[in-house]
Structure formats: structure tokens, C-alpha cells
Chain A
Amino acid sequence: MTATAHAPAPQQPAPPHSHESGGAETVAPWVAAIATAVAMTLAAVSVSAVFADWAWFTPTVVMILLVVVSGALLRAVPAIRATGSAVLGQCLVGVVGALYLCVPSAMPFGLPTPVAFGELFSLLGQGVDDIYSTIAPAPSTPGFTAILVVGIGLITILIDGLVSDLRAPKMGGILLLLIWVIPVIVAGPQLQWFHFAAIGLAFVVLMLSRYLAQRVRRAAAFSVLAGALALLLGVGLPLVLPPVDQRPQQPLGTPEDITVVNPFLDLHADLDPSNDDVVLTYSSDDPLAPPLRLTSVSAFDGTTWMPEPFDIDPFAVAVDGMPRPEGVAADTPVVERTAEIAVQGLDEQHLPSPYSPATVDGVERRWIYDPSTLTIVGNGVLSTDAQYTIGYRSIEPTPAQLAQAQPVDAEQFESTLALPNDVPEVIGQTAEEVTAGSENQWEAAVALQDWLRSDEFEYSLDAPADASGSALEDFLRDRRGYCVQFSGAMTAMARSLGIPARIGVGFTAGTPTGDGEYEVRMNQAHAWPELYFEGAGWVRFEPTPGGPAGDPPPWTTEGSAGEDEAQETEAPEEESSPQPTPGAEESAPQETQAPEAAEDGEPTGAGVPLWLAVAGGVVLLLLLLAVPALLRLLTRRSRLSGDDAARTEGVWEEIAASTIDAGLPWDRSRTLRDQHERIAADLEPDDVRLLDQATEAAEALRYGDGIPEGTALSGHEAARLVQRVRATQSKEIGPWSRVRAVVLPRSLTQRPQAPRT
């Protein structure tokens, strides 16, 4: 503050522009930095409405602090401050910080490597994918976190530059409000008062930064307070705010347990005959018609059967292929088959598949697999409306081969042989009695199955809903039950005989509807024992009598036992050979991105504030230019997400909007059919079918009694249809209109065309 005779300095707020800058500069450069940090942290809080958890928050705040602190330190050097080149250093710190925060595992020596850049980019790419595949409030995936860390870090650098170097906090405020646009558009309904409060406060803090810088000269305590506030916000706020459905983040590369829903527990409710909603349809030419497995449960504590906890390996991506199941010898007959599955009414964390899945096409990379059970598990995705093709290995051992299998090493199969001490002894005793006279484990297993399938047992849904030790005891006494008890009893009895056993859970093969098509209903949920035999691996048995499950597989019937003794030479080493570690080879595709970081390539121009102004201005301009496109993208997303009804209308709104974007007329006086005819003329037959579906669903929704079950387009199909329509439209228009349709979409301002006269 230059001395002016009449100015009572302490009371007077700084005039908004220029000439006092020299004074402020020497006073408290770190006040501006603190203000930026506080404002950005608050802005990040406002973004929290988009997410269901806070896992993204800490890395984001660390990034903000890294950038701001490095900026403040650099600006403490007068030469750097004078040239305004602190921003360069901040960019460098930001790049390294982003790598550490997002892909720590790819930085073996603590130094940025091309691999690390590649991973960061692929993470950002995944984040963009996640934007398309989730709806707020979404779990914060590593991809989202990467986008936020990089994006907010970049904006922090800009705002810091604007506030500290250029003394233009108003410009910074605009950038801040750009951040605010994200939660407003993406998560409007989720916004709480404190989100508004946070961004409002951020704005105020930023606007006051210069004023504070002058006041604070005499009030060092205040700056301490502001610093403490920033720290408090960064660390304490997530604890204070309402705890929203905490989900542990799975950082890339660090194995953690995944919480898996146990489908075995719901079986009784599912089996209710009234529960006959179609859950999925599929086509397959497999004559064995194997059941569709969700998972296998093997951990038995005497009360509940649960999936064995497994280490999640984010690189064990199902679409990259799955290994041959453990213990299958080279000479065991294995038939490669495929099934095309369309899920309709099933929100499971597991992907239904015949055993053992080898390849899957048509699902996201977030479906990973458990190598020990070959279960396909969604890492934060559900099977809702999934459509995919499963290639699977149908393992079809011969009875002769199974008969020769040697007992396994008990230690190695500890978990699938375990029976808790409190399991009633009657189970083991009965198993001994039933299998007396069996010469080998296979005969024993077949004897168990035959006994359970005999007339002594009755299929009944009246049994209790579990397969605990006492329930199994009752079952062996009353001899009434359903698949849960049958499979539980056989599994427990097999274990008592030293045969590793677990329970497969899923659906029966369903009802054939002709042409190799099957329809599976909720009440066709099923459970069956899987027993382990050396050389054949996990082999399915079918002890549940009475229809729904069908006939037992051919290798479990005595009739064909002695026919073939040829396969003497077993390959026991197969069984003990370790699983191929899928992580090793699967990580390769993730690293193919070009190892360049956008933040890294700043030109080394003359470091004057003018240069910074230009660069900042350009970035700001680019951001502003991107706003309409971003808004349009978000509108599109919200139209195509939501429930069937919302999506059905959304598809048509989106088609209308993209027509308007292309500058073509959209005549609101035309009926759906009319529009349909006009659009269909330019589409491929496959897409016309989607359009038919879209039109029929929309008509039924608007004018009929609602969309008939299963006829609405899935989100994926809807997106595809809209994209195709867009593609045909862009052929009709010139290049300039095409660019305009993306950058400045008319549909943001223009409603579907006004009436013509």
C-alpha cells in the first residue's frame, strides 16, 4: 500500500484494480496461497455430491496442497515471482504428484516412468468410461479419482496463478464456478445445503483474498486460523459430513477382499413358485444343458455356506480370458462351447455362466474373475441387463477316469474338506453307511447321489431355508427338502469321506423355448454339489430329485462305469501346478498409451505475467468453449440413464435433440410413427430393429398401459441407436455444421422445432 496522505488505511478495502499491487506483493504472498487452498478444498467438497463415498477426496486435497505449497515456496524466490514462472514448477510438481497419487504401483523407483504415464492415461480413460456407465451418486472408482486429481490439480494451478501472480481473483472465481457446474448438472438431486455453502464460501474466500492479504499484515493470527481451517476442511470434513455408504476404494494393483453378496442365502425366497419373472434368456447348443452358475460357496462354519473370500485382482479381467480350471488333466475330454446370454431381471454381483468359463464378450472390463472358482465377479458393476457371449469349457470326464482318481492331499484342499466340529455326527455316519462297499471315491460319490435321488427322499419347498448342520440333520431324518438341503447334505457327506466338495449356486438350465434358446426364471434358481476329482477338477453332481434340476450328468451314473479302463495314466501334476497368474500378462494392454502428460509440455516462453495471462486465458477459453459440449454430454447421459420409462422417452428426446444439433428440422407435429419412418429410411436393418423397439416402447408408454416387460431398450442399446441416428444425420450436413453440432449444440438453447405455419 503506497502512502496516500488522506487514506485511513486500516478501514479501507483495497480498490479493485492495479496500482497498489507492489505493496501487497511484499506483504503476504502466502495469504493468497492459503485462500486458494481453502477455496479449492471447499470446491472439492461441493463436488462430493457426485459420489457415494469420500475415497477420492484425500488424494484430491493432497494434490491441491501439493500444488499450492510448491507455488508458495517458488514464489518466495523473488526472481521466480517476478517472472511468474512459478506455474511451471507447479505443473512439474503436479505431474509427479498425480502419478504418485493415482498410480503409485507403477513408480518402482519413485521416478516417473513412461509406464506410469501410460497407466495414468489408461486410468483417465477408464474414468471417462465410468462417466458413461454410472449415475450419481457413484462409487468413486480409481478412474474418477484420477480425473479429479488431475482436473482439480490443473484448475488449482490456474487459480493460484490468477490469484497470486495476476491478482485476478475474479477470473479465478469463474473457474471455481466451472467446478460447481459439475455437481449441479450431474447430481442435482443429491445436492445438500453444505454443497452450496461450500462453493459459496470458496467463492467468498477467493474474492476476499486480496483484501485479506492487506489486512492480515497486522493479524498473523488470522492467517494461522485460515491455514488451520484449510487443514480442518481437508481432514475433518469427510468425518463430520453425513456418512454416505462407505465403499472401500480398490487402488490399482493392491489386492483387497471384495465383499461378495452370497446368492446361496436367497435361494429359498427365489424358489417361490410365484417368483416366475424371467431373469435371463440364452442360447446354447450344449446337449448336457448345464446349469448357469453364479458362484460356488465352500466356506462352511456349521451354520452358513459362504463364498470363500478371495483376493481381488483388478488385472484378472474376465474379457481378457480365463485360465483352464485347476486340476483338469490334459487327456480329460473338454468341449469348447459358447452360450449367448441376455440378462433381463437379475441384479447380481456375479455373472451367470456355465462352468468353466473361458472367454466372455460384451461386458465391461470391471468384471473380474476369481481364479480359484472361476467365478466372474463385478467390481462395482451389476449384471443388470448384461448381454454377453460366454465361451466355456465343458469338462466331460468319463466315469472310468473318475473311478481311478486318487484321494487328494488333505492339506492342500483344507478349505473344501473342512467340516466344523459342531456338525452333527449323523452326517458322517450316514455317509459311511450309504457308501459302504464303494471301492473308490467316485463310486462313493455316485452312491451318495443315488441315495439322495432315491424314493426315500421327497422334494419339498417346506424345508427350512438353510443348510446348517442342524438343518442337514433334520433333513437326513425327515428326508424332505429342496436343492439347498440336497446339495448341502451331499457336500457335507462328501467332505466327511475326504472328497473336496463345494456348492455351486446359480440357475438350472431353464426352459427350452426352441432353437437352442432357453428361458430362465427366478424360481429356477438352483444349488448343486461340485466334487473334486484328480484329473477332472471340479465335477458337478445332481442329487436333487424331482424334476427342476433335470437328469444327473452322464459321468455320475453307474451304468457306464466299467466300459473304458484305458485312461490309466493320470496327470496328477496338473492338479498341483499353480494357477497361471493372469495379472502378469493382462497388465500389458493397460500400458500402451503414449507416455506423454499434457501438463508436462508447457512451452518455455519469456516468463512474464503477460505470458501467463495468455496461457491462462487460452486455457480458460478452452474450458469455456468446452462447457456447451459438456452440458450436452451430460444431458444425453441423464436422458439415456434412469429406469425403462425414463430411458424410453429419453431416447426420443435425444434423437430430437441430435436432429436439432445437426441443424435439421424436427417437426413436433409429427407422430412417433412418422418420425420413425423418416429416420428408419437411413438406418441399417439392425438399427431399424432397435428403432422399432424404441418406437413401440414409447407408444406403449405414452398411449398404452406402459411398456411391456422386457421390450424397452437397454441403456446400451439406447446409446447405440442414438449414436447411429446421429451418424446418419452427420452425413447429411456439412463439416462446419458437424463441428458446430458438437461444440455448440443447438439443442441446448432450442426446443424441438416451433410450430410451422
Chain B
Amino acid sequence: MTALGNDHITHIQAIAQKSRSAMNTVLDGKDHAVRTALITLFAGGHLLLEDVPGVGKTLLAKALGRVVGGSVRRIQFTPDLLPSDVVGVSIFNQETRAFEFRAGPVFANVVIADEINRASPKTQSAMLECMAENQASVDGTTYRMPQPFMVVATQNPVDMEGTYTLPEAQRDRFTARISIGYPSTQAEMDMLDHHVDHDPLSRTPAVTTLDEVTQARDLIRHVSASPELRAYVVSLLDATRADPAVSLGASPRAGVQLLRTAKVMAVLAGRGYATPDDIQALAVDVLAHRIVPREGDDPQLAASLVRDILRRVPVR
């Protein structure tokens, strides 16, 4: 059944390790964010970065595009941005006398959706359709996204001025949410030393290829997830729904995403099967943004609720 041999695992491990160290040179001391970003990439998901401005959200996304050698496009979301600005438009060509599609910036391997929560809901949903369907429809014609396709959306905390809250249903489409956080003192000093005069990205090489990433994604699907493990995932999801402190529990899609990322994690650990350790390592990043605490939609609170659930649900 499985086409996943040991040599495959080692190969994917090597790719991921190279990418990780390349990105770590750019984002000093942000290994957790780097790791989650790479796992999301290999799991075929999308990433939501939620943090205050200026901690390196865009840098992370750019570095990710860079190491896989893919095209990187950036969309700065503003309240007046229209869906056609994202997806593209069909223009009537006078010479050929036919409509011609001008692809928008969303057609790239890594799309940085900067400050996605500042766009109008209409534009947000156009973006989210691309993410969910891996395709865009313009004037009745469907255009496929390039593969691999990954959206790294950044979002400023919702209480900042001029922002629309990303609705729960749309947050659910992101595989993982992370915040980068302020760098450590040492890292910040190094940053002031290096990044002031150099573009840190200029020295980041492409350590792998798009084909390799696509191939790895296919192989990772063959990582086995035993019935015990799936039962554990389901009991975690159930616990979020039954928790009295949670007003909206995790969706079934959350379980799918959690298992997908766990499979990547397993391969990165050199295993051909996922274990509850993988699930526990990713549960906060993958589940926290999908649940709504009763006492207000606070990322910190949601994360700590997920941690409580992890400590409560027996492992199978």
C-alpha cells in the first residue's frame, strides 16, 4: 500500500533540514515559526502569521518562497483592494478581438497576503476561494494555481486600527496559525548588526526545487496513521467541542489538517508512521485559531485552552 520507503523518508528529511537551516540564518532564533512554516508547506496547507508589525512576518514568507526556488508574490491588502486586483482580470484585446486573462498576483507558488484582515470581506473571500480550491474563476473560466501553492497570510492583532476581523469560517481554512514574537536580545542585536545594511534575503539560496516539494507532498500522504492515532485525534476534537470554556469547537477539517501536518512531522522525525507526539507537537498551532473561547476571541486564551485539552485527553 505504501510507496514510502526509508530512502524517501531520509530524502525528505534532508530537504526539510536544509530548508530549515537556510531559513534559520535569515530568521535568527525563530526555529519554531520556521518549522511550522515548512511543515505547512509540505502538508499542502496555508499559514496564518499573526503578530505585531515588524517582527519578520513578511521576511519569513519571503524566505520560504526563496528556499523552495519558487515564485513569490506579495499582495498588500488594503480596505480598497478589489477581488480583481488579487485574482486578475479579463481584458478585451483590440488586435485579436478576444478577451485575454491577465493573471493577478495570486498566481505564484508562495503568495504573501500581507495584513489580510485589512481587506474588505469581499476581497478576503476571493483570496480564500483560491486557497480552498487551488483555482480561480474569472468570467466563467477556471484557472489552476501553480503547484505547489501556498498562501502565507499575515494579520495584525485584531484590536489594531483599521482592521476587519477574519471570520472564524475563513480562519479555519488556514492550516496553522503562529505568531513569531519578539526576537531575543542577542538575536535582536545581531539583527541590528546585519540587517541594517544588507538585505538578509539576498544571501538565502534555493536549497530545493518545486518539483521536489510537490513530490514530497505526494509521498507524505503515504505516511501511515493507525486507527489508534485517528481515534486520539477525534477525541481531541471532541474535547474542544465539549469544553465548557469554548463556544465554538474545532471543525472536522481541523482534524484532517492536524493529521496531515502530523504526517509531515513524522517524516521529519524519520518515521513512516505518525504518533501522538506529532499530534501533541502541532495541536496548538493547528487547533488554537479554529476554536473560539467563550471569554473573547483571544489567541493566547485559545492556545492555553488547547494545551489544557492536551493534558486532559488520554493518549491511545
Which residues from chain A sit less than 8 Å from chain B, CB to CB? 667-674, 699-700, 702-705, 752, 755-757
Contact with B276, one of A671, A705, A757 (Cβ below 8 angstroms): A671
Q: A755-B313, A755-B314, A756-B312 are in contact. Are A673 and B277 (CB under 8 A)?
A: yes
* Residues of A contacting B: mostly: loop
Q: Are B311 and A703 in contact (CB under 8 A)?
A: no
Task: Determine the distance from Cα of A667 to Cα of B277 in the docked complex, in whole angstroms.
Answer: 15
Contact with A705, one of B229, B272, B312, B316 (Cβ below 8 angstroms): B272
Q: Are B314 and A669 in contact (CB under 8 A)?
A: yes
19 contacts between A and B (CB under 8 A): A668-B314, A668-B315, A669-B314, A672-B276, A672-B315, A699-B271, A699-B275, A703-B229, A703-B274, A703-B276, A704-B224, A704-B226, A704-B271, A704-B272, A704-B273, A705-B2, A752-B314, A755-B314, A756-B312
Q: Are B273 and A700 in contact (CB under 8 A)?
A: yes
Q: At the interface, yes or no: B280 with Cβ under 8 Å from chain A?
A: yes
The 8 A CB mask of B44-71 against A (1 = contact, 0 = none) is: 0000000000000000000000000000
Q: Are B228 and A669 in contact (CB under 8 A)?
A: no
In the complex, chain A residues whose CB is within 8 Å of the CB of B280: 671
In the complex, chain B residues whose CB is within 8 Å of the CB of A670: 315
Q: How far is the CB of B93 from chain A (nearest CB, A)?
A: 57
- Nearest opposing residue in chain A for B276, CB measure: A671
Given contacts A672-B315, A755-B313, 12 further A-B contacts (CB under 8 A): A667-B311, A669-B311, A669-B312, A669-B315, A671-B276, A702-B226, A703-B224, A703-B228, A704-B271, A705-B2, A755-B312, A756-B311
Q: How far is the CB of B3 from chain A (nearest CB, A)?
A: 13
In the complex, chain A residues whose CB is within 8 Å of the CB of B166: none
Contact with B275, one of A671, A752, A756 (Cβ below 8 angstroms): A671
Q: At the interface, yes or no: B310 with Cβ under 8 Å from chain A?
A: yes
Residues of B241-285 at the interface with A, using a CB-CB cut-off of 8 Å, are: 271-277, 280
Contact with A669, one of B226, B229, B274, B313 (Cβ below 8 angstroms): B313
In the complex, chain A residues whose CB is within 8 Å of the CB of B315: 668-672
Number of A-B residue pairs at CB separation under 8 A: 56
Q: Are A669 and B310 in contact (CB under 8 A)?
A: yes
- Nearest opposing residue in chain B for A751, CB measure: B314
Task: Determine the distance from Cα of A752 to Cα of B314 in the docked complex, in whole angstroms.
Answer: 10
- Nearest opposing residue in chain B for A757, CB measure: B312
In the complex, chain B residues whose CB is within 8 Å of the CB of A752: 314
Q: How far is the CB of A472 from chain B (nearest CB, A)?
A: 48
Q: Are A671 and B277 in contact (CB under 8 A)?
A: yes
Q: Are A703 and B314 in contact (CB under 8 A)?
A: no
Which residues from chain B sit less than 8 Å from chain A, CB to CB? 2, 224-226, 228-229, 271-277, 280, 310-316
Task: Determine the distance from Cα of A34 to Cα of B273 in the docked complex, in whole angstroms.
Answer: 65
Contact with A703, one of B273, B310, B312, B313 (Cβ below 8 angstroms): B273
Q: How far is the CB of B8 from chain A (nearest CB, A)?
A: 15
In the complex, chain B residues whose CB is within 8 Å of the CB of A702: 226, 228-229, 275, 316
Task: Determine the distance from Cα of A699 to Cα of B269 in the docked complex, in whole angstroms.
Answer: 13
Task: Determine the distance from Cα of A752 to Cα of B312 in the docked complex, in whole angstroms.
Answer: 13
Q: Which of A670, A702, A703 counts the most chain B CB atoms within 10 A? A: A703
Task: Determine the distance from Cα of A647 to Cα of B96 in the docked complex, in whole angstroms.
Answer: 75
Q: How far is the CB of A198 from chain B (nearest CB, A)?
A: 41
Task: Determine the distance from Cα of A700 to Cα of B310 in the docked complex, in whole angstroms.
Answer: 22
> Which 5 A-B residue pairs are closest in the complex by CB-CB distance?
A668-B314, A704-B273, A671-B276, A703-B226, A703-B273
Task: Determine the distance from Cα of A17 to Cα of B271 in the docked complex, in whole angstroms.
Answer: 71
- Nearest opposing residue in chain B for A674, CB measure: B277
Q: Which of B225, B310, B314 counts the most chain A CB atoms within 10 A? A: B314
Q: How far is the CB of A569 from chain B (nearest CB, A)?
A: 63
Q: How far is the CB of B25 from chain A (nearest CB, A)?
A: 29
In the complex, chain B residues whose CB is within 8 Å of the CB of A673: 275, 277
- Nearest opposing residue in chain B for A755, CB measure: B312
Q: How far is the CB of B247 from chain A (nearest CB, A)?
A: 19
- Nearest opposing residue in chain A for B315, CB measure: A671
Task: Determine the distance from Cα of A671 to Cα of B279 in the docked complex, in whole angstroms.
Answer: 10
Task: Determine the distance from Cα of A61 to Cα of B105 in the docked complex, in whole angstroms.
Answer: 93
Q: How far is the CB of B70 from chain A (nearest CB, A)?
A: 33
Q: How far is the CB of B312 from chain A (nearest CB, A)?
A: 5
In the complex, chain B residues whose CB is within 8 Å of the CB of A669: 310-315
In the complex, chain B residues whose CB is within 8 Å of the CB of A674: 277
Task: Determine the distance from Cα of A752 to Cα of B315 in the docked complex, in whole angstroms.
Answer: 11
Q: Are B277 and A705 in contact (CB under 8 A)?
A: no
Q: Which of A669, A673, A752, A756 counts the most chain B CB atoms within 10 A? A: A669
In the complex, chain B residues whose CB is within 8 Å of the CB of A704: 224, 226, 271-273
In the complex, chain A residues whose CB is within 8 Å of the CB of B312: 669, 755-757
Q: Which of B225, B272, B277 counts the most chain A CB atoms within 10 A? A: B277
Q: How far is the CB of B269 from chain A (nearest CB, A)?
A: 10
Task: Determine the distance from Cα of A705 to Cα of B223 in the docked complex, in whole angstroms.
Answer: 10
Task: Determine the distance from Cα of A16 to Cα of B52 in the docked complex, in whole angstroms.
Answer: 86
Q: How far is the CB of B59 from chain A (nearest CB, A)?
A: 33
In the complex, chain B residues whose CB is within 8 Å of the CB of A703: 224-226, 228-229, 273-276
In the complex, chain A residues whose CB is within 8 Å of the CB of B277: 671-674
Task: Determine the distance from Cα of A667 to Cα of B312 in the docked complex, in whole angstroms.
Answer: 9
Task: Determine the distance from Cα of A365 to Cα of B272 in the docked complex, in whole angstroms.
Answer: 43
Task: Determine the distance from Cα of A705 to Cα of B275 in the docked complex, in whole angstroms.
Answer: 12
- Nearest opposing residue in chain B for A754, CB measure: B314
Task: Determine the distance from Cα of A670 to Cα of B277 in the docked complex, in whole angstroms.
Answer: 9
Q: Are B275 and A672 in contact (CB under 8 A)?
A: yes
- Nearest opposing residue in chain B for A704, CB measure: B273
Task: Determine the distance from Cα of A756 to Cα of B226 in the docked complex, in whole angstroms.
Answer: 26
Q: How far is the CB of B184 from chain A (nearest CB, A)?
A: 26
In the complex, chain B residues whose CB is within 8 Å of the CB of A699: 271, 273, 275
Q: How far is the CB of A708 from chain B (nearest CB, A)?
A: 11
In the complex, chain B residues whose CB is within 8 Å of the CB of A668: 314-315
Task: Determine the distance from Cα of A702 to Cα of B224 in the docked complex, in whole angstroms.
Answer: 11
Q: Are B273 and A705 in contact (CB under 8 A)?
A: yes
Task: Determine the distance from Cα of A317 to Cα of B208 in the docked complex, in whole angstroms.
Answer: 65
Task: Determine the distance from Cα of A699 to Cα of B273 in the docked complex, in whole angstroms.
Answer: 9
In the complex, chain A residues whose CB is within 8 Å of the CB of B276: 671-672, 703
- Nearest opposing residue in chain A for B225, CB measure: A703
Task: Determine the distance from Cα of A755 to Cα of B311 in the docked complex, in whole angstroms.
Answer: 8
In the complex, chain B residues whose CB is within 8 Å of the CB of A757: 312
- Nearest opposing residue in chain A for B239, CB measure: A755
Q: How far is the CB of A271 from chain B (nearest CB, A)?
A: 31
Task: Determine the distance from Cα of A752 to Cα of B229 in the docked complex, in whole angstroms.
Answer: 19
Task: Determine the distance from Cα of A108 to Cα of B253 in the docked complex, in whole angstroms.
Answer: 82
Task: Determine the distance from Cα of A79 to Cα of B271 in the docked complex, in whole angstroms.
Answer: 80
Q: How far is the CB of A484 from chain B (nearest CB, A)?
A: 39
Q: How far is the CB of A668 from chain B (nearest CB, A)?
A: 4
Q: How far is the CB of A754 from chain B (nearest CB, A)?
A: 9
Q: How far is the CB of A680 from chain B (nearest CB, A)?
A: 15
In the complex, chain B residues whose CB is within 8 Å of the CB of A667: 311
In the complex, chain B residues whose CB is within 8 Å of the CB of A672: 275-277, 315
Task: Determine the distance from Cα of A671 to Cα of B316 in the docked complex, in whole angstroms.
Answer: 8
In the complex, chain A residues whose CB is within 8 Å of the CB of B274: 703
Q: Which of B273, B275, B313 counts the most chain A CB atoms within 10 A? A: B275
In the complex, chain A residues whose CB is within 8 Å of the CB of B225: 703
Q: How far is the CB of B310 from chain A (nearest CB, A)?
A: 7
- Nearest opposing residue in chain A for B229, CB measure: A703
Task: Determine the distance from Cα of A756 to Cα of B273 in the docked complex, in whole angstroms.
Answer: 28
Task: Determine the distance from Cα of A699 to Cα of B277 in the docked complex, in whole angstroms.
Answer: 10
Task: Determine the distance from Cα of A702 to Cα of B232 in the docked complex, in whole angstroms.
Answer: 12
Task: Determine the distance from Cα of A705 to Cα of B228 in the docked complex, in whole angstroms.
Answer: 12
Task: Determine the distance from Cα of A669 to Cα of B314 in the docked complex, in whole angstroms.
Answer: 4
Task: Determine the distance from Cα of A670 to Cα of B314 in the docked complex, in whole angstroms.
Answer: 7
Task: Determine the distance from Cα of A700 to Cα of B313 in the docked complex, in whole angstroms.
Answer: 21
Q: Which of B225, B228, B315 counts the most chain A CB atoms within 10 A? A: B315
Task: Determine the distance from Cα of A672 to Cα of B228 in the docked complex, in whole angstroms.
Answer: 13
Task: Determine the distance from Cα of A700 to Cα of B276 in the docked complex, in whole angstroms.
Answer: 12
Task: Determine the distance from Cα of A703 to Cα of B228 in the docked complex, in whole angstroms.
Answer: 7
In the complex, chain B residues whose CB is within 8 Å of the CB of A705: 2, 224, 272-273
- Nearest opposing residue in chain B for A705, CB measure: B224
Task: Determine the distance from Cα of A328 to Cα of B224 in the docked complex, in whole angstroms.
Answer: 60
- Nearest opposing residue in chain A for B279, CB measure: A671
In the complex, chain A residues whose CB is within 8 Å of the CB of B272: 704-705
Task: Determine the distance from Cα of A672 to Cα of B271 in the docked complex, in whole angstroms.
Answer: 15
